[in-house]
Amino acid sequence: MIELVHVEKTYQADLATPFTAVDDVSLSIAAGKLTVLKGPSGSGKTTLLTLIGCMARPTSGRIHLHGLPEDTLPELKEGDALEITSLPERFLTAIRRRTFGFIFQQFNLIRGISVLENVMLPTYPTGEDHQRVEASAIQRLEALGLARHLRAPVDRLSGGEAQRVAIARALINDPLVIIADEPTAHLDSKLSEDFMELMGQFKSSGKTLLITSHDPIVYGSPLADRVVEMRDGRIVKGS
């Protein structure tokens, strides 16, 4: 599904104190599996997620995406792979919208607007039919047990509810891959286990899952097909 070859990301390269967040990482992530990136904070897990998820471009190295829909970028296909490292933001965003759903550590919901609007927000720039998007957002929220809160502002939600809103939002574009960054950092053990159960459902529906965590509930879970351990921007175990 995703293949990284000698990927490196350096910040402040032109300053005296360059900082290499991801250092020469080669990794391939299988489709339909749950992969956990494990490591202490500052080990480069999150940066690696942003590179894989087309949010940022690596300083060097290559990233190939396999198994994308036929019409993604016909001019770019090399076999069945798409090489995304030197694409402009416009195209990276287009790929990201269809391929990746993100669940952020801080949930990243927009305060002051309703749960429903928050979930629909990723579809605004694509110009899809508003009513159809709304119907599908409501359906997803109901499936996650949030039917009561559709019109409530997100500020009033509990941590667990907020995360489920974030999950509904990640699913709105029906992505192939779900990426979660430290999803259980703000949840108690019960909610963390609920979260993993939900991930299990997505996995059985065929989604590829990529989660960073240093929570044993996540990397110790029987659902995790593979655990990759990172430290100081390098993979130390499990590649």
Residues that bind other proteins (CB under 8 A): 10-14, 46-47, 49-50, 55-60, 73-76, 85-91, 93-94, 96-97, 102, 104-106, 108-113, 117, 121-130, 169, 173, 181
Q: Which residues contact 47 (CB under 8 A, 6 or more apart)?
A: 9, 21, 22, 56, 233
- Cα(140)–Cα(134) distance, rounded to whole angstroms? 10
Residue 84: CB atoms within 10 Å = 24
Minimum distance of other proteins from residue 233's CB (angstroms): 15
Q: Which is nearer to other proteins, 104 or 219 (CB)?
A: 104
Minimum distance of other proteins from residue 51's CB (angstroms): 9
C-alpha distance across the termini of the chain, in Å: 15
Q: Which is nearer to other proteins, 28 or 106 (CB)?
A: 106
Q: Which is nearer to other proteins, 93 or 189 (CB)?
A: 93
Minimum distance of other proteins from residue 162's CB (angstroms): 13
Minimum distance of other proteins from residue 170's CB (angstroms): 8
| Pairing status of strand 226-231 against strand 34-38 | parallel
- Cα(18)–Cα(9) distance, rounded to whole angstroms? 10
Q: Which is nearer to other proteins, 150 or 223 (CB)?
A: 150
User: Which residues lie across from 35 on neighbouring strands?
Assistant: 210, 226
> Can you give 74-127 as a three-state secondary structure string?
HHHCECCEEECCCCCHHHHHHHHHHHEEEECCCCCCCCCCEHHHHHHHHHHHHC
Minimum distance of other proteins from residue 201's CB (angstroms): 22
Minimum distance of other proteins from residue 107's CB (angstroms): 9
Q: Which is nearer to other proteins, 95 or 227 (CB)?
A: 95
- Cα(95)–Cα(136) distance, rounded to whole angstroms? 21
- As separate numbers, helices (DSSP H) first and strands (DSSP E) second, the chain gives 7, 10
- Cα(183)–Cα(164) distance, rounded to whole angstroms? 11
Distance from chain centroid for Cα 4: 16
Minimum distance of other proteins from residue 96's CB (angstroms): 6
Q: Which is nearer to other proteins, 87 or 196 (CB)?
A: 87
